[in-house]
A and B are shown apart, each in its own frame.
Chain A
Amino acid sequence: MTAQAAPTHRSLYRLDTRTKRRNAAEKRFRLYGLAAVGFGVLALVVLLSSVLAQGVGAFRQTFVVMDVMLDEGVLDKSGTRDPEVMKKVTTIGYGKLLQTSLNAELAEKGFAVEGMSAKDVGALISKEAPAQLRDRVLADPDLVGQTIRFKAYANGRIDGYFKGRVSLQSAELDSNVTPEQLRLADTLRAAGIMELSFNPGFIFGPDASELRPEAAGLGVAILGSAYMMLIVLALALPLGVATSIYLEEFAPRNKWTDLIEVNIANLAAVPSIVFGILGLAVFINFAGLPQSSPLVGGLVLTLMTLPTIIIATRAALKAVPPSIKDAALGIGASKMQTVFHHVLPLAMPGILTGTIIGLAQALGETAPLLLIGMVAFVREYPAAPPEGFGDPAAALPVQVYNFTQRADPAFIERASGAIIVLMVFLLAMNLLAIILRRRFERRW
């Protein structure tokens, strides 16, 4: 002890270097943790805001609003107003009509269109507009001969110009639009002939071809997704609840039960695309169900969602206190009566919450649907169920993927807009689950 240096007398308030180092390490460690949480939250914010910023534009669209004289001489030469006869006039006829109407409107308001042919002016209107006008006239033949106010989609490039995707410089290099057209569009917008307004067609309309981004909508995809969710709900909920009741309340501990348990745990971890392969091989190739139909999609998603629902249901069943079962059994109920009359109703809020979360998961699933042909281009709305379950349809997340595969940058905006629609649905479902849980969940 003698060799030891004389103890330095110092205040406890003055830290030695080692303590300082340890404290610095402590601070650093804490900072790392905070940074990690911050990174996660920041990533979430950037992710959501980038999609939102890109997608909001999809809900507003440039329209050309003008008076169209539905000339009887063009649309219904026979004068019979018979839709079957009037079907002979193709969209080309209606396109010419729109073109002359727009030119007339311009001439009337006194805008000079030097250097542009009537066709160039007509090209401001989307190529989808004639078909819409034709549908409207065929649905109501009495419109022929009248002058109606028609709101036509503007060409996608014009729309892009107002949203900042297309500029006068890029138009120079673009074979689809000229700078003159863009300048004319500016004038028209100032004059109120063109306007940016909310576009219900984006939510309710069908998809459109690669060259007409302005007309592409999500109607078929939303309907297809809704059909699939119906099927998932109708199959996965009863199957999942039945499985959980059996495993939780009746199953003896044996090899068979163990096998089922292992399988469920396993299915929860199988990559989703493998379910797509299963759907393709079993439901389409073996059982011969129709490709790209909500039926097959719903079946595949059911199998995927089952583990989620089973896990949630079992937790809910477990949470019901044994005293309730004992009481029921004690006054003479059978095991089955106990489960169906007491345990199941008490577990219902938990089961429904789990089911909604499972459905939300299924709604956003994309990969397996790609394999069962949901990528196909579908313009027709599927029929009403049950026949409609076999009709080809799109699905919301797959529609997003489809949009991103197309060349026109306008589709990026559409894809982001579709994501917003998808997220609104997911948010609504999750909110519903939270409300259910808050309202009905009982703590024993």
Chain B
Amino acid sequence: MKRALVVGAGIVGAACAERLARDGFVVSVVDPRPVGSVATGAGMGHLLVMDDPPAEFALTLRSRILWDELAPTLSPSVDHAACGTLWVAADEEELAEAERKRARLAAAGVSAELLDSAGLVRLEPNLRAGLLGGLRLAEDGIVYPPAAAQWFLERAGATGERHVRSASVASVESGRATLADGRVLEADVIVLAAGLETRALVRGLPLRARKGHLVITDRHPGFCSHEIVELGYVKNAHGAALESVACNVLARPNGQVLVGSSRQFDVDDPAIDPRMLARVVARATEFLPGLARLKAIRAWTGLRAATPDGLPVIGPLPGASGVFVAAGHEGLGITASTGTAELVADLASGRRGALDPHPYRVERFAEVGHA
């Protein structure tokens, strides 16, 4: 009987556990905190295809296909829906970007619909007048991330006292993990999927905290139906600016509206920064003026785990056989959890899979080594 140990009960770790269990592993998951309660619990739950750079495109597209395969089996608590993404262009440059996106997606066989100004307002009447157009990816979706993580763990048989151990891992080597209290857990395959905390287990892993702010409203059914993202988001998400905001608004299936988003590098303090919160809400309100009269019931922050090149770190850890890293997904962890899990399972079983593992490999960061 093959045993796998996953460090981290966020959505990436949970998805890895589920996928490894399908390969016949008996899976244990270790995390000192409740399931999906760190970055996973702070995320919006948007499932989207990002068409650039190519490795991000491949991973998110494969992941969305896997989410669609899982969809009929997901529990109702996961709240999966195909809300679609609406990329919104405020100026000519962004409109040209919409067209470029459409062409890139079409080349990979992904359908996306270009919209003019009127088409945009027909789909989302609460968008302000005067926007130039946009691009609709109707098949993008949404899940409720902590419940999705819980569902993955249940499918993996990795729930209950026996499997999810409320413990911290102090160190990892081939075949064994040592817990903070000195206990040793042995496994054939070990997956390090602890988000930013993975830094403590992998020497030199270049992850940086990239803080985000979100607000959620009371139920306002019908306010919007897509995830509405300004095309400027791409510049912000991929840019190196220390601080940026972009309109990113998502209606949960129950009518609550999630309002984002912001990015701040190297801020580890989880406290709400009223200045960033104001920037996020003001930016979103520029695109959706009616937001101003919706009732906000809660605001929070989360820390994304960002890598220098914007791609996650997925692959075997150099110098330790059977140990794999799956971390650094920044804002795409919910989407990319399924593709990441598949890639980890393929690597662990020595299979050639749907994704080329090369772009995500650990050794692309020369300084990384076995801690």
Q: Do A and B come from one complex?
A: no
Q: Could you list which residues of chain A lie within 8 angstroms of chain B, going by C-beta atoms?
A: none
Q: Could you list which residues of chain B lie within 8 angstroms of chain A, going by C-beta atoms?
A: none
